[in-house]
């Protein structure tokens, strides 16, 4: 990255536009940026950082930071433009922060949004080409080209000497936080956390698997339901021997259940044989009883059948008369239909006669004569009436046209009144238009100003909320740290107590171990200690002797306490690290003050946001008002044109309507209207047509009725009835006919059934035998059945118990198989997690994974810094990295030592003098710049700035430091030194001077060589 030109306007202390030609400054390789205190030397560096990242470095980027110069005129906008080459591309970045400016259409100020402009120089055309106007796109483009965050850029390009001096004296944790920000080792911390989570999850799964296995064992014990079976093994979750013990015990319980099931099966087979014999005896007795009852029932049914014979013969006679009457039924139905048709036609004739008798005279016929007239005369008169009706069509059209003309004239009058109202209303509305328009424009400007203010407040609100959240997390974690320390102390005390108890029991057991060995001696067998086969005086256990089981129990208790202490140590370390991170992010400011500041910002932002929310509504209201203004003017013009054209149309309508009304008067006669006259004639024609049809229907139905009477009399005589009425009485309904036929069929079926039963040979033989006794046989059968149910239930229970135990045993085996890989995975993950967290015994230096990676980076930085440190110190000093452990619980990995070639000893960097600290920190900063640059993808950094610190060097050391800085030109770099040391002005000829006065600062470039 090479800087070419920087232009700042109304920025920081600079009131007017100041141009800085970095190409001219870089030509000398080393240049000096100097000026009095407060003139704005650091503001030049702030402007470079702001142009690249839209923010100033470090602590100067606070929520209350104001970038605009207090010396600038109101009409001069704050702007920073940077021309640079990065990644082989020449770019120009222009940024304007959110700032207040005078309103264009009224008094007061409005807030203008922040703006960004990115352009690229096209060498082929010699022109600048616009790339983006978006803050986000510009930031992403520059970030990808530089490959560094703002924090990294400020560390490697704007070298802050004070930060590196503190870095030299800092402890491992402080160095780790700085290196972590520069090299972004969050992924390694995430790996540590992930391994810890996997270890906790694995432990949970193993314990859950043991709990499931113990639950299966409990279910096996419940399913066995046998007091003679052995009890389940007494093991705890996490015990390595739990699974084999459960499987062995389950096999014993399962074997006992198999034997009990075989015994129950034998008892059930015996009971089944007895039940089969009882069933055969019961069936024999039941069959005999059935046959005897059947014989008695047959005799009763024969007697009842003979008693119903008279009803049977009467039903046969009724059905015979019905069959003969059915031959007359069609003639009866025909006669009824003819009679109904004649009555209907007569009623219609009477209604037509009443209609014609209502005062209607036709062709000289009176009302009474019309009623008695024949059908032909009525039809002829209907045709005459309809001919007269057709002659009224033209008059009806004229009448409809007259109504249309009346409506049109009414519409013209209504339109005339509406147009007059439009003209008057528009004139009244236009009197207040200008005032309303000015008010709406003011609303739009106020809403725009609120929107800009809301955006500015939103940029300040999020950092404030983040800091408040970290402060709350800091206070919460402080309590958790204290609680973790208390738990750690308690776990340590318990572990120490358990250890002492185990050692005491072990020592007591060893004192009495001879008695324990003597208990295993057998006469004739050699002693395990001395080999003798005779044991004349074996030792005896004393009172209070400690056995092996007691010692192992104490050892297990100690191991559990040690594991608990290790877990407490890991928890305590984790909580302390999280508390340190939260404290670094939040600082020491109380939560109440941060919350009050956030609340104030939120209220101010909410108020601005509510006001800004009306921007769209204000613009829409202005647009609606302008549209309404244009619409009203257009409506007024159209209304005036319509009024002029309406007069001639009204006169033409009046003339046409006068002629039409004369024609209508001649056609309607005495009626109210032509349509009324036409309706009267239409009703008369319809009445005449109905009367003619009624006369014809009466004549036709009378002839049909006479013919039907003749056919009915002939049919009744042929069927054997004296009169038609007798045939009608003999005719049965469907329901009666079905009832009689059902009685006949039932009597015949019963007669056949009784005859069949009387013919059965077994029924008669059973009646001659002694009476059957099925109750006794049933009692014997029930007793055998109860015996079988008890035996079957016992067998079913035994088989179910055996099946359930087999399934539970298989489940126990499956749980054991699943638990094996889980335990192996847990052991592997636990070893990795403790190793990465630095708490494992295998991790001798107690280095966390993140610290290990940062230590490698620090070793690279120390090696790169040593190259320049040797030249600055005339070969005396070398900077080396050390991973030695600190005292107490401190971890290793991020130590720095200075090796003095004059004495051959190594000492801590905190023992350096002021001047030594400066050039050592300078060498460290330059080395860090090289390493971070390589880490960022090898982006060339052709322009560096070094801020202050040269005043602490003697002349010889200053010459050596300047020689090292001047040697950077070998890599085609230019270095700017920010200092007000007077001696540097004589040593560095190319200078950029910042001069301050009451009207604001300005810059001057000059060369004293």
To the nearest 10°, the Cα dihedral for 470, 473, 474, 480?
A: -160
What is the mean predicted confidence (pLDDT) over 76-98? 89
Name the token pair of 962. 């300047």
**Of the candidate ranges 278-282, 330-334, 918-922, 958-962, the one whose mean pLDDT is the lowest:** 958-962
The pLDDT-based confidence of 803 (bands split at 50, 70, 90) is confident
Name the token pair of 983. 């001696």
Place of tokens 């300078």: 922
At 897 the pLDDT is 81
Mean pLDDT over the full length of the chain: 75
C-alpha 6: how far from its chain's center? 49
Instruction: Identify whether the C-beta of residue 837 lies closer than 8 Å to the C-beta of residue 196.
Output: yes
Distance of alpha carbon 444 from alpha carbon 449, whole angstroms: 9
At 6 the pLDDT is 92
Q: Put residue 162 in one of left, alpha, beta given phi > 0 → left and psi -120 to 50 → alpha.
A: alpha
- What tens digit of pLDDT does each residue of 450-477 get? 777 777 777 778 888 888 888 888 888 8
What is the number of H-type helices and E-type strands within the chain?
Answer: 27, 17
Examine the pLDDT at 266 and tell me if it is beyond 70.
yes
- What tens digit of pLDDT does each residue of 144-156 get? 787 777 776 776 5
At 91 the pLDDT is 92
Instruction: Give this prediction's pTM.
Output: 0.39
- What tens digit of pLDDT does each residue of 709-761 get? 777 777 777 777 777 777 777 777 778 778 877 888 888 787 787 777 777 77
DSSP 293-307: HHHHHHHHHHHHHHH
What is the mean predicted confidence (pLDDT) over 316-332? 76
Phi, psi of 538 (to 5 degrees): -70, 145
At 92 the pLDDT is 93
Please tell me whether residue 978 adopts helix, strand or coil conformation. strand
Instruction: Identify whether the C-beta of residue 47 lies closer than 8 Å to the C-beta of residue 999.
Output: no
- What tens digit of pLDDT does each residue of 403-461 get? 777 787 778 778 777 777 777 787 877 788 788 888 878 877 887 787 777 777 777 78
Cα separations (Å) of 763 from 281, 290, 301, 302, 958? 20, 9, 15, 15, 143
Please tell me whether residue 908 adopts helix, strand or coil conformation. strand
How many C-beta neighbours within 10 Å does residue 654 have?
10
> Beta 974-978 vs 943-947: how paired, if at all?
parallel
- What tens digit of pLDDT does each residue of 120-144 get? 988 888 889 888 888 888 888 888 7
Radius of gyration of the chain (CA): 60
The angle that helices 242-307 and 309-325 make with each other, rounded to 10 degrees, is 80
Q: Which residues contact 372 (CB under 8 A, 6 or more apart)?
A: none
At 366 the pLDDT is 41
Helix intervals (H) in 512-613: 513-518, 548-586, 591-612
Name the token pair of 433. 């238009």
The pLDDT-based confidence of 324 (bands split at 50, 70, 90) is confident
* Interior angle at CA 925, CA 3 and CA 976, nearest 5: 35
Distance of alpha carbon 294 from alpha carbon 970, whole angstroms: 132
Examine the pLDDT at 552 and tell me if it is beyond 70.
yes
Partners of residue 900 on adjacent β-strands: 877, 905
The pLDDT-based confidence of 899 (bands split at 50, 70, 90) is confident
DSSP 717-737: HHTT-SSHHHHHHHPPPHHHH
Cα separations (Å) of 980 from 36, 404, 1004? 7, 102, 15
Q: How many CA atoms lie within 13 A of 1001 on its CB side?
A: 25
Please tell me whether residue 789 adopts helix, strand or coil conformation. helix
Please tell me whether residue 579 adopts helix, strand or coil conformation. helix
How many C-beta neighbours within 10 Å does residue 409 have?
15
At 361 the pLDDT is 44
Examine the pLDDT at 887 and tell me if it is beyond 50.
no
- In 3D space, the residue among 57, 56, 59, 43 whose CA is nearest the CA of residue 6 turns out to be 43
What is the mean predicted confidence (pLDDT) over 824-841? 74
Place of tokens 């040391």: 981
- In 3D space, the residue among 527, 709, 601 whose CA is nearest the CA of residue 63 turns out to be 601
Instruction: Identify whether the C-beta of residue 990 lies closer than 8 Å to the C-beta of residue 32.
Output: yes
Examine the pLDDT at 541 and tell me if it is beyond 70.
no
Q: Which residues contact 510 (CB under 8 A, 6 or more apart)?
A: none
What is the mean predicted confidence (pLDDT) over 279-302? 77
Name the token pair of 827. 């052991």
C-alpha 699: how far from its chain's center? 87
- What tens digit of pLDDT does each residue of 196-249 get? 777 777 777 777 777 777 777 777 777 776 666 677 777 776 666 777 777 777
How many C-beta neighbours within 10 Å does residue 720 have?
14
- In 3D space, the residue among 584, 322, 357 whose CA is nearest the CA of residue 477 turns out to be 584
Distance of alpha carbon 63 from alpha carbon 601, whole angstroms: 10
What is the mean predicted confidence (pLDDT) over 998-1007? 84
Report which DSSP code applies to 953. Answer: S
What is the mean predicted confidence (pLDDT) over 601-613? 81
How many C-beta neighbours within 10 Å does residue 600 have?
11
Distance of alpha carbon 451 from alpha carbon 606, whole angstroms: 11
Report which DSSP code applies to 60. Answer: G
Name the token pair of 400. 């409809």
Instruction: Identify whether the C-beta of residue 864 lies closer than 8 Å to the C-beta of residue 925.
Output: no
């Amino acid at each position: 990255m090479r800087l070419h030109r920087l232009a700042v306007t109304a920025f920081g202390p600079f009131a007017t536009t100041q141009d800085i030609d970095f190409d001219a400054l870089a030509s000398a390789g080393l240049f000096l940026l100097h000026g009095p205190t407060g003139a704005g030397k650091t503001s030049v560096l702030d402007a470079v950082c702001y142009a690249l990242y839209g923010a100033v470095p470090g602590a100067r980027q606070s929520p209350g930071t104001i970038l605009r110069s207090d010396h600038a005129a109101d009409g001069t906008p704050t702007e920073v433009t940077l021309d640079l080459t990065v990644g082989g591309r020449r770019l120009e970045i222009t940024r304007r922060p959110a700032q207040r400016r005078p309103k264009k259409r009224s008094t007061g100020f409005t807030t203008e949004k922040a703006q960004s402009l990115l352009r690229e120089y096209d060498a082929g055309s010699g022109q600048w080409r616009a790339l983006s106007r978006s803050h986000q796109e510009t930031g992403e483009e520059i970030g990808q080209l530089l490959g560094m965050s703002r924090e990294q850029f400020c560390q490697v390009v704007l070298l802050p000497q004070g930060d590196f001096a503190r870095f030299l004296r800092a402890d491992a944790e402080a160095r780790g936080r700085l290196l972590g920000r520069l090299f972004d080792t969050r992924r390694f911390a995430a790996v540590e956390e992930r391994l810890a989570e996997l270890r906790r999850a694995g432990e949970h799964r193993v314990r859950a698997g043991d709990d499931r296995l113990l639950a299966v064992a409990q279910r096996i014990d419940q399913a066995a339901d046998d007091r003679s079976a052995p009890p389940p093994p007494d093991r705890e979750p996490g015990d390595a021997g739990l699974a084999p013990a459960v499987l062995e015990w389950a096999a014993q319980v399962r074997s006992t259940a198999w034997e009990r099931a075989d015994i129950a099966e034998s008892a059930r087979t015996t009971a089944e044989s007895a039940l089969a014999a009882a069933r055969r005896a019961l069936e024999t007795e039941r069959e005999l009883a059935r046959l005897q009852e059947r014989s008695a029932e047959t005799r009763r049914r024969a007697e009842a059948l003979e008693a119903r014979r008279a009803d049977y013969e009467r039903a046969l006679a009724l059905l015979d008369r019905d069959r003969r009457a059915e031959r007359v039924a069609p003639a009866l139905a025909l006669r009824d239909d003819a009679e109904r048709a004649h009555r209907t036609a007569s009623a219609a004739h009477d209604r037509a006669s009443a209609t014609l008798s209502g005062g209607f005279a036709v062709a000289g016929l009176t009302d009474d004569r019309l009623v008695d007239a024949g059908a032909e005369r009525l039809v002829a008169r209907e045709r005459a009436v309809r001919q007269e009706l057709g002659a009224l069509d033209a008059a009806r059209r004229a009448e409809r046209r007259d109504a249309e003309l009346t409506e049109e004239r009414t519409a013209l009058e209504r339109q005339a009144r509406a147009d007059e109202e439009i003209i008057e209303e528009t004139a009244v509305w236009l009197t207040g238009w200008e005032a309303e328009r000015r008010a709406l424009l003011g609303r739009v400007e106020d809403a725009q100003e609120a929107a800009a203010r809301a955006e500015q407040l939103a940029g300040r609100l999020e950092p404030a909320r983040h800091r408040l959240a970290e402060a709350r997390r800091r206070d919460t974690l402080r309590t958790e740290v204290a609680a973790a320390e208390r738990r750690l102390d308690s776990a340590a005390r318990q572990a120490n107590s358990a250890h002492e108890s185990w050692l005491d029991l072990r020592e007591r057991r060893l004192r009495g171990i001879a008695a324990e060995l003597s208990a295993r001696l057998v006469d004739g067998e050699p002693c395990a200690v001395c080999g003798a086969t005779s044991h004349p005086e074996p030792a005896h256990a004393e009172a209070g002797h400690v056995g092996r089981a007691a010692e192992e129990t104490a050892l297990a208790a100690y191991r559990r306490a040690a594991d608990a202490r290790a877990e407490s140590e890991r928890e305590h370390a984790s909580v302390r690290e999280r508390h340190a991170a939260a404290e670094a992010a939040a600082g020491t400011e109380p939560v109440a003050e941060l919350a009050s500041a956030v609340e104030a910002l939120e209220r101010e932002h909410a108020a601005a946001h509510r006001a800004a929310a009306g921007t769209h509504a204000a613009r829409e209201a202005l647009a609606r008002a302008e549209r309404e203004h244009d619409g009203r003017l257009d409506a007024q013009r159209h209304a005036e044109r319509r009024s002029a054209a309406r007069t001639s149309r009204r006169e033409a309508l009046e003339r046409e309507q006068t002629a039409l009304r004369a024609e209508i008067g001649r056609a309607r006669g005495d009626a109210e209207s032509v349509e009324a006259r036409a309706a009267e004639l239409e009703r008369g024609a319809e009445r005449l047509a109905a009367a003619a049809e009624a006369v014809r229907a009466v004549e036709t139905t009378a002839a049909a009725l006479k013919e039907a009477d003749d056919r009915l009399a002939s049919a009744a005589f042929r069927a054997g009835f004296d009169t038609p009425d007798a045939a009608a009485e003999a005719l049965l309904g469907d329901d009666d006919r079905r009832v009689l036929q059902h009685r006949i069929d039932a009597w015949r079926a019963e007669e056949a059934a009784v005859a069949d039963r009387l013919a059965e040979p077994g029924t008669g033989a059973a009646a001659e035998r002694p009476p059957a006794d099925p109750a006794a046989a049933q009692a014997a059968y029930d007793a055998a059945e109860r015996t079988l149910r008890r035996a079957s239930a016992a067998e079913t229970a035994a088989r179910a118990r055996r099946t359930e135990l087999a399934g539970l045993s298989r489940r126990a085996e499956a749980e054991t198989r699943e638990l094996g890989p889980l335990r192996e995975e847990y052991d592997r993950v636990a070893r990795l997690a403790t190793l990465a967290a630095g708490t494992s015994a295998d991790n001798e230096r107690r280095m966390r994974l993140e610290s290990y990676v940062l230590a490698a980076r620090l070793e690279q930085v120390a090696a790169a810094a040593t190259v320049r440190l040797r030249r600055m110190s005339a070969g005396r000093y070398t900077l080396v990295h050390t991973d030695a452990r600190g005292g107490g619980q401190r971890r290793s990995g991020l130590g720095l030592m200075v090796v003095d070639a004059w004495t051959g000893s190594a000492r801590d960097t905190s023992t350096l003098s002021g001047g030594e600290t400066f050039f050592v920190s300078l060498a460290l900063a330059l080395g860090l710049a090289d390493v971070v640059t390589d880490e960022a993808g090898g982006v060339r950094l052709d322009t560096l700035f070094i801020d202050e610190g040269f005043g602490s060097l003697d002349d010889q050391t200053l010459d050596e430091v300047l020689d090292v800085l001047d040697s950077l030109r070998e890599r085609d770099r230019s270095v700017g030194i920010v200092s007000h040391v007077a001696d540097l002005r004589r040593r560095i000829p190319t200078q950029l001077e910042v001069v301050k006065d009451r009207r604001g600062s300005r810059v001057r470039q000059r060369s004293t060589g």
